[in-house]
């Protein structure tokens, strides 16, 4: 791994260089065509694209309940147990994320508040092949269910040999209500607009490739989406008390995900930096996915040596990593310095994979620096809020002149009148005289 020891300003530039984004116009256009075709042709288009892109002839788009049941029953015992422990931890944590409706009753004659309502129907995108992670199904479906979403449906690309039993089994364990075998941009289009077989949803969540991400961006507004997931990253802040063998393993656990993954160590210890670099080389050679991890380590990752703890955090906040390990003495005391990160792993024994599977917090996290403004997927993503208020006549009368001034300043006479007409005696005298209702009032 490259080791940098430069002034902070130089390092900050380096980090920004690493996070540059691009848009691919060709993919944008292809995806737009797919979405329009699905809108026009429905299920037929889904079958056509499944044949074209996945090489699978799909009859029934919905996977039968019997097939899902069978898959669940066939899960190996130790795998089922692991999923159950994960589920229990994820639920325990996410129950603390439930938003409450509130009401302000401080003023006589005024009632105002906000009602929290779960979304009605949510769609989860689950990638196909080796990226069909059962853990992600739990991470997406369980918060939705805790939020009170009535219908959680799932889409996943069709496979020649049928959808993997582990995917179907995890879906059942997570309480998914229906599974459809369709993937790519066409699946996103189906969830956004609905087809004969697939009902349209209020929100689409879950990771996917560039076509899925582009489609999510294009249907945003028609439906809600979670976020545009980019390559994954880990940032580690460590001092000389940390174990370089552990740190190297953690950096590699991120790098094995994707050639575009990033693993960054920032440390105030040169000796730790050197030891980690050596250990990464050694452990990398023994990793089954070393071809992937090697590219990520060599092209996207680095170690930075910085003397002050504050500057270490300044640089890491600029990275805004999806995952952040703090391997400093009394790690939790530094939470105040964490501004931008998806999920933080404190101390020597909270390896990042704890969070991928078991810790409780969600593993669907803001990537590529978007932790600057985005949050982990959570229960709060599956509700919306509705404000409400009720004013008495007396309270309205107090505010009426202020409202009228502002409305007229903004050129909205009708707004002022809708207030003032409430204090117009002629309007109060209105009666429903059926025969004379047309045009009688006010003249």
Among 56, 69, 96, 305, contact with its own copies (rule: CB under 8 A):
96
Residue for token digits 């160590």?
265
Among 71, 87, 93, 258, contact with its own copies (rule: CB under 8 A):
93
Among 87, 203, 294, 300, contact with its own copies (rule: CB under 8 A):
203
Among 26, 161, 414, 425, contact with its own copies (rule: CB under 8 A):
414
Is 254 annotated for ligand binding? yes
Q: Shortest approach of its own copies to residue 34 CB, angstroms?
A: 14
Among 253, 267, 268, 327, contact with its own copies (rule: CB under 8 A):
253
In angstroms, the CA 182 to CA 56 distance is: 10
Is 209 annotated for ligand binding? yes
In angstroms, the CA 193 to CA 107 distance is: 44
Is 410 annotated for ligand binding? yes
In angstroms, the CA 282 to CA 352 distance is: 20
Q: Does 211 interact with its own copies (rule: CB under 8 A)?
A: no
Is 181 annotated for ligand binding? no
In angstroms, the CA 327 to CA 248 distance is: 12
Which CB, 308 or 386, lies closer to its own copies?
386
Of 232, 249, 257, residue with least CA distance to 286: 249
Q: Does 309 interact with its own copies (rule: CB under 8 A)?
A: no
Of 61-69, 128-136, 154-162, 299-307, which part binds its own copies (CB under 8 A)? Answer: 128-136
Q: Does 169 interact with its own copies (rule: CB under 8 A)?
A: no
Of 7-15, 53-61, 88-96, 173-181, which part binds its own copies (CB under 8 A)? Answer: 88-96
Q: Does 157 interact with its own copies (rule: CB under 8 A)?
A: no
Distance of CA 369 to the CA centre of its chain: 14
3-state secondary structure of 120: coil
Q: Does 263 interact with its own copies (rule: CB under 8 A)?
A: no
Q: Does 8 interact with its own copies (rule: CB under 8 A)?
A: no
Q: Does 413 interact with its own copies (rule: CB under 8 A)?
A: yes
235 φψ region: left (φ > 0), alpha (ψ -120 to 50), beta (else): beta
391 vs 75, 124, 268, CA distance in Å? 58, 41, 60
Which residues make Cβ contacts (< 8 Å) with residue 184, sequence separation at least 6? Answer: 34, 49, 53, 54, 157, 208, 209, 211, 212, 215
Among 97, 226, 258, 318, contact with its own copies (rule: CB under 8 A):
97
Rg, the chain, Cα only: 27
Is 99 annotated for ligand binding? no
In angstroms, the CA 375 to CA 364 distance is: 9
Of 274, 255, 275, residue with least CA distance to 263: 255
What mask of x and - would describe binding to its own copies in positions 28 to 67, judged by CB under 8 A?
----x-----------------------------------
Among 6, 40, 282, 333, contact with its own copies (rule: CB under 8 A):
282
In angstroms, the CA 200 to CA 192 distance is: 5
In angstroms, the CA 311 to CA 192 distance is: 44
Beta-strand pair 233-238/262-267: parallel
Of 6-14, 55-63, 154-162, 245-253, which part binds its own copies (CB under 8 A)? Answer: 245-253
In angstroms, the CA 158 to CA 150 distance is: 25
Which CB, 40 or 92, lies closer to its own copies?
92
Of 4-12, 40-48, 176-184, 252-260, which part binds its own copies (CB under 8 A)? Answer: 252-260
3-state secondary structure of 295: helix
243 φψ region: left (φ > 0), alpha (ψ -120 to 50), beta (else): beta
In angstroms, the CA 216 to CA 56 distance is: 23
Among 55, 299, 310, 373, contact with its own copies (rule: CB under 8 A):
373
Among 57, 60, 79, 210, contact with its own copies (rule: CB under 8 A):
79
Q: Which of residues 318-347 bind its own copies (CB under 8 A)?
A: 331-332, 335, 338-347
| Paired residues of 385 in beta bridges | 116
Among 46, 83, 312, 316, contact with its own copies (rule: CB under 8 A):
83
Q: Give me 19's structure tokens.
A: 């996070």
Which CB, 59 or 106, lies closer to its own copies?
106
> Do 200 and 191 meet the contact criterion of CB atoms below 8 Å apart?
yes
Is 232 annotated for ligand binding? yes
414 vs 182, 184, 269, 342, 418, CA distance in Å? 50, 48, 68, 47, 6
Catalytic status, residue 323: yes
Which of 256, 318, 322, 352 is labelled catalytic? 322
Which of 323, 325, 352, 363 is labelled catalytic? 323
| Binding-site residue ranges for substrate | 232, 254, 257, 323, 356, 410, 415
| Binding-site residue ranges | 125, 186, 209, 232, 254, 257, 323, 356, 410, 415
Active site residues: 322-323
| Binding-site residue ranges for Zn(2+) | 254, 257, 356, 415
């Amino acid at each position: 791994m490259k080791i940098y020891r430069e002034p902070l300003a130089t390092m900050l530039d380096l980090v920004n260089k690493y996070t540059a984004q691009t848009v691919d116009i060709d993919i944008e256009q292809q995806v737009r065509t797919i979405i329009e075709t699905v809108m026009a042709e429905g299920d037929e288009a889904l079958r056509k694209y499944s044949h074209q892109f996945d090489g699978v002839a799909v009859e029934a788009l919905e996977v039968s309940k019997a097939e899902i049941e069978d898959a669940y029953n066939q899960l190996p015992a130790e795998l089922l147990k692991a999923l159950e422990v994960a589920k229990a931890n994820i639920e325990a944590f996410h129950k603390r994320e439930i938003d409450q409706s509130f009401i302000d009753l401080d003023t006589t004659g005024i009632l105002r508040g906000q009602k929290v309502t779960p979304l009605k129907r949510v769609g989860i995108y689950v990638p196909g092949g080796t990226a069909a992670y059962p853990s992600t199904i739990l991470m997406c479906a369980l918060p939705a269910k805790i939020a009170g979403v009535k219908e959680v449906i799932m889409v996943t690309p069709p496979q020649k040999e049928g959808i993997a039993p582990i995917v179907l089994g995890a879906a059942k364990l997570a309480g998914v209500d229906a599974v459809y075998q369709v993937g790519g941009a066409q699946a996103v289009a189906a969830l956004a607009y609905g087809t004969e077989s697939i009902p349209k949803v209020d929100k689409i969540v879950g990771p996917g490739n560039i076509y899925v991400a582009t489609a999510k961006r294009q249907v945003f507004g028609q439906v809600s989406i979670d976020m545009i997931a980019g390559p994954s990253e880990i940032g580690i802040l460590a001092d000389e008390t940390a174990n370089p063998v552990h740190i190297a393993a953690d950096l590699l656990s991120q790098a094995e995900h994707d050639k575009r993954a990033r693993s960054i160590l920032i440390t105030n210890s040169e000796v730790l930096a050197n030891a980690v670099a050596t250990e990464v080389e050694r452990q990398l050679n023994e990793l089954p996915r070393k071809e992937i991890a090697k590219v990520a380590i060599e092209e996207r990752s680095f170690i930075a040596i910085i003397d002050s703890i504050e500057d270490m955090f300044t640089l890491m906040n600029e990275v805004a990593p999806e995952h952040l390990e703090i391997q400093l003495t009394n790690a939790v005391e530094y939470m105040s310095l964490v501004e931008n990160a998806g999920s933080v792993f404190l101390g020597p024994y909270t390896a990042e994979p704890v969070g991928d599977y078991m810790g409780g917090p969600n593993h669907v996290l803001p990537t590529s620096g978007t932790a600057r403004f985005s949050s982990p997927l959570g229960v709060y993503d599956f509700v919306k809020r509705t404000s409400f208020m009720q004013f008495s006549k007396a309270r309205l009368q107090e505010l009426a002149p202020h409202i009228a001034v502002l409305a007229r300043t903004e050129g909205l006479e009708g707004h002022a009148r809708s207030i003032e007409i409430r204090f117009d005696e002629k309007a109060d005298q209105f009666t429903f005289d059926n025969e004379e209702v047309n045009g009688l009032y006010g003249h």
